[in-house]
Amino acid sequence: MLDLDMTPYAAFVWPAWGVSALVLTTLTARAVIASRKWKLELDRLDIAADEAARPQAARSAVEPKERPQAALGAVGQQE
């Protein structure tokens, strides 16, 4: 059975739990956002590096002509 009546110590108990929840949520959100950001960035660079490493003939045989230029442009935006 939950007891949520903290009288007369509500002013101490709820801030302790509230701030703990806020800090732990912020830590979690920050970790997840940073993880996704760098994963996406690494995936993008890996794809761009693979594109650049493929021979020009192989690229033009399987893809439209604009694609390699777009990929190279994406790498250039990182600099």
Do residues 49 and 72 make contact, with C-beta atoms less than 8 angstroms apart?
no
Using rule CB under 8 A, residue 79 touches another protein? yes
Residue 41 or 60: the one with the smaller Cβ distance to another protein is 41
**Bond from prior residue into 8 cis (ω within 30 degrees of 0):** yes
Longest dimension (CA), the chain: 78
Residues 6+ apart with CB under 8 A from 74: 44, 48
The footprint of another protein on residues 35-54 (CB under 8 A) is 35, 38-39, 41-42, 45-46, 48-49
Using rule CB under 8 A, residue 76 touches another protein? yes
Joined together, the tokens standing for residue 50 give: 């693979």
Q: Which residues bind another protein (CB under 8 A)?
A: 1-4, 6-10, 12-13, 15-17, 19-20, 23-24, 27-28, 31-32, 34-35, 38-39, 41-42, 45-46, 48-49, 75-76, 78-79
